[in-house]
């Protein structure tokens, strides 16, 4: 008996009435045309492009149209209900294949370049193939036949010789009905699971909101009434920073007042009042001849409360630049610019895992004394209020979103006593650990659901999902009928061509 996740191979015995067949014996495989953008309109025949092909469904978030008089000049690529389409460029993302079957609402539409289409004379047969197209065995075949490294693509010339276990037509119908019923239940479970990440993020934000309202440490403040207030901490930090400013190594931006209420002994301050804000190195060709070379962090290495150090590059510098751009464990790093507003200002703390290490100019560094303040400030920047501040100062009338040393320096921070900072960070981490455990459980459930779907498909294409009926017309007869239908179609096309020649 095969494992739950395997499908029959060419060398395995097929169930009674089944046949191994190449894909081109049962389906027509075509690709689209490269239509000109100047011909696009706001209505007409939908242009089905690669962006419209998702995982198991067609999405129309990006929608272009061709006028009917142009579209219907290409009848062979006009799409109909139940046609199956596949993305030819980067067809696999995150281990999933971009393949979909058209529904009635997706038509009329026409096939664009870089999208392949499987057509059949029989709707039941194409539905059966679409299930096969969602199986691991089909995904594996696509993976093995990808070409190109930077932009992997599939050449349609490899698809005709793919073999598929073909069941009798009546059994195909039973298989499709059974799988669709099971998949419908699976989809409902997935829909329930899909709500969990949003709930988890809401829980995180609720924790941060409570922290910066002072709720998480309200009892702690009552038990510690004589704790040094934030104003004293601020004055001590400012004194140290002003000493450095007198040495010409620092400038402090003026504080912008805020009227938001915070607990007693807390204090609103600008970021530059409590930390040294500095930029990094500009990458250019003039550095190629410089004497010193070090690893450095780029925007691609810094994410929200996470570092990605899988790819670290080197940069050459002058000796006098080293002190300014050298990272120290605990430094707060903030991304200066990003094409997406919700990604701009993402921040993380340098962990010191590469030493020495520098940073580029698109990463703004903030260094605190004491360094332990970094975690508290990071959590503030991750909070909804912190993110709101960042997005507000990053916005511009030109539509380009960017931060700068000046904008980061003026960000308002609720400074609290150092001991209370430690308490808040500890509580947040404990609660976030609990949230992370919930997220891991969600990921496990999601993975099990995907395994269940593949188990269903594997059983279907091994002939184990539905009962077989010896009275079913065998697949060999279906293949013969498809061949005859194709020959009739060829003869019809040839006859039309002859008539045109005679005219």
452/119 Cα distance (integer angstroms): 28
**How is the chain split among helix, strand and coil, in percent rounded to 5?**
45, 20, 35
Q: How many CB atoms lie within 10 A of CB 319?
A: 9
Asked whether 401 and 394 are in contact (CB, 8 A), the reply is yes
Q: For residue range 153-163, what is the model confidence (pLDDT) as tens digits?
A: 999 999 999 99
Give the dihedral sign, CA 178/180/181/182: positive
For the chain, counts of helices (H) and of strands (E): 14, 25
Q: What is the pLDDT of residue 394?
A: 86
Q: What is the pLDDT of residue 254?
A: 42
Taking alpha carbons only, the member of 116, 104, 110 closest to residue 39 is: 110
Instruction: Please identify every stretch of the chain with a pLDDT value under 50, giving residue numbers as ranges.
Output: 1-3, 245-257, 497-502
44/60 Cα distance (integer angstroms): 14
Asked whether 398 and 306 are in contact (CB, 8 A), the reply is no
Give the global pTM.
Answer: 0.73
Asked whether 162 and 23 are in contact (CB, 8 A), the reply is yes
Give the dihedral sign, CA 476/477/480/486: negative
Q: What is the CB-side half-sphere exposure of residue 430 using CA atoms within 13 A?
A: 8
Q: How many CB atoms lie within 10 A of CB 398?
A: 7
**First-to-final CA distance of the chain:** 63
Q: What is the pLDDT of residue 234?
A: 84
141/161 Cα distance (integer angstroms): 11
Asked whether 111 and 31 are in contact (CB, 8 A), the reply is yes
Taking alpha carbons only, the member of 294, 328, 298 closest to residue 310 is: 298
Asked whether 79 and 110 are in contact (CB, 8 A), the reply is yes
* CA distances (Å), origin 320, targets 60, 277, 324, 326: 54, 18, 8, 11
88/114 Cα distance (integer angstroms): 5
What angle, 0 to 180 degrees and rounded to 10, lies between the N-to-C axes of helices 196-213 and 418-461? 180
Q: How far is CA 487 from the centre of its chain?
A: 46
329/352 Cα distance (integer angstroms): 4
Write down how long the chain is: 503
4/450 Cα distance (integer angstroms): 13
Q: What is the CB-side half-sphere exposure of residue 171 using CA atoms within 13 A?
A: 26
436 three-class SS: helix
* CA distances (Å), origin 15, targets 25, 323, 474: 20, 73, 11
Phi and psi angles of residue 362, each rounded to the nearest 5 degrees, phi first? -85, 5
H/E stretch holding 236: helix 230-246
83/96 Cα distance (integer angstroms): 20
Q: Would you call the peptide bond into 141 cis, given omega within 30 degrees of 0 as the criterion?
A: no
* Residues with Cβ within 8 Å of residue 458, at least 6 apart in sequence: 2, 3, 4, 5, 6, 7, 135, 136
Beta strands in 228-370 (DSSP E): 267-270, 275-278, 292-297, 302-303, 306-307, 313-317, 332-335, 347-349, 358-359, 363-368
Q: With the CA atoms of 133, 134, 135 and 141 taken in that order, what torsion angle do they form, in degrees rounded to the nearest 10? A: 50
* Residues with Cβ within 8 Å of residue 87, at least 6 apart in sequence: 50, 53, 98, 99, 114, 115
Q: What is the pLDDT of residue 498?
A: 46
């Amino acid at each position: 008996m095969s494992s739950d996740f395997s499908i029959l191979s060419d060398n395995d015995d097929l169930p009674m009435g089944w046949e191994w067949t190449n894909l081109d014996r049962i389906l027509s495989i075509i690709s689209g045309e490269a239509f000109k953008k100047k011909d696009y309109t706001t209505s007409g025949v939908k242009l089905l492009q690669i962006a419209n092909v998702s995982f198991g469904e067609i999405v129309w978030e990006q929608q272009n149209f061709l006028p009917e008089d142009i579209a219907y000049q290409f009848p062979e690529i006009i799409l109909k209900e139940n046609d199956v389409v596949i993305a030819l460029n980067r067809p696999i993302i995150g281990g999933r294949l971009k393949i979909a079957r058209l529904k009635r609402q997706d038509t009329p539409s026409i096939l664009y370049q870089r999208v392949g289409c499987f057509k059949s004379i029989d709707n039941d047969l194409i539905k059966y193939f679409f299930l096969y197209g969602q199986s691991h065995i089909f995904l594996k075949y696509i993976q093995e036949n990808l070409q190109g490294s930077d932009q992997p693509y599939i050449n349609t010339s490899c698809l005709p010789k793919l073999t598929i276990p073909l069941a009798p037509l009546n059994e195909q119908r039973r298989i499709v009905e059974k799988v669709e019923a099971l998949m419908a239940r699976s989809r409902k479970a997935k829909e329930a699971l899909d709500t969990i990440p949003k709930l988890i993020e809401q829980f995180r934000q609720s924790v941060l909101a409570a922290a910066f309202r002072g709720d998480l440490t309200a009892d702690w403040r009552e038990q510690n009434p004589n704790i040094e207030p934030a104003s004293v901490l601020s004055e001590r930090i400012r004194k140290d920073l002003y000493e450095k400013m007198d040495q010409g190594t620092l400038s402090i931006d003026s504080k912008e007042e805020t009227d938001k209420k915070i607990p007693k002994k807390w204090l609103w301050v600008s970021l530059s009042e409590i930390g040294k804000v500095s930029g990094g190195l500009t990458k250019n060709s003039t550095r190629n001849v410089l004497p010193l070379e070090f690893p450095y962090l780029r925007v691609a290495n810094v994410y929200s409360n996470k570092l990605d150090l899988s790819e670290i590059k080197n940069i050459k510098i002058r000796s006098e630049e080293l002190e300014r751009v050298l990272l120290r464990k605990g430094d707060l790093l903030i991304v200066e610019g990003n094409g997406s507003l919700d990604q701009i200002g993402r921040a993380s703390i340098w962990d010191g895992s590469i030493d020495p290490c520098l940073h580029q100019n698109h990463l703004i560094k903030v260094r605190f004394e004491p360094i332990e303040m970094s975690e508290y400030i990071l959590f503030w920047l991750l909070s909804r209020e912190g993110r709101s501040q960042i997005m507000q100062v990053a916005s511009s009338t030109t539509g380009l979103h960017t931060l700068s040393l000046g904008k980061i320096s003026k960000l308002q921070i609720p400074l609290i006593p150092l001991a209370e900072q430690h308490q808040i960070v500890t509580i947040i981490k404990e609660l976030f650990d609990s949230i992370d455990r919930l997220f891991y459980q969600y990921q496990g459930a999601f993975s099990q659901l995907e395994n269940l779907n593949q188990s269903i498909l594997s059983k279907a294409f091994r002939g184990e999902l539905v009962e077989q009926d010896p009275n079913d017309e065998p697949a060999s007869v279906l293949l013969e009928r498809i061949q005859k239908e194709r020959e009739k179609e060829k003869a019809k096309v040839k006859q039309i061509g002859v008539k045109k020649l005679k005219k």
